[in-house]
């Protein structure tokens, strides 16, 4: 029998990291194969402050200009991401188990 801690360690070891750039009031393209446990680094290349806010409540990060912040995906499914300051900025992520 495998412990829950061993499974969590295996999941973390298999996690990937992806960068999504925010530029010109747009999110860059979404990675194609996202899984629970993967990390998204939100890179703000704009002169304005942005957020990466998941409609499903999975994450909500504020990113100052010329900085980056990371969030870890914890829920599977279709995830709509938007900027609270610029609601026309939207991105669709597909996260699998």
pLDDT in tens, 5-38: 333 444 556 899 999 999 999 999 999 999 999 9
Q: How confident is the model at residue 45 (pLDDT cuts 50, 70, 90)?
A: very high
From CA 88, how far away is CA 38, in angstroms rounded? 25
The CATH homologous superfamily for domain 16-96 is Cupredoxins -  blue copper proteins (2.60.40.420)
Q: Indicate the domain borders of the chain.
A: 16-96
pTM of the model: 0.84
Residues 6+ apart with CB under 8 A from 36: 11, 73, 74, 75, 76, 95, 96, 97
């Amino acid at each position: 029998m495998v412990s829950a801690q061993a499974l969590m360690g295996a999941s973390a070891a298999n996690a990937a990291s992806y960068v999504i750039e925010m530029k010109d009031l747009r999110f860059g393209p979404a990675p194609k194969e996202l899984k629970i446990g993967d990390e998204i680094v939100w890179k703000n290349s704009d002169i304005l402050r942005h957020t990466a806010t998941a409609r499903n409540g999975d994450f909500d990060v504020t990113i100052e200009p010329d900085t980056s912040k990371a969030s870890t995906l914890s829920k599977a499914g279709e995830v709509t991401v938007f900027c609270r300051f610029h609601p026309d900025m939207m991105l669709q992520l597909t996260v699998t188990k």
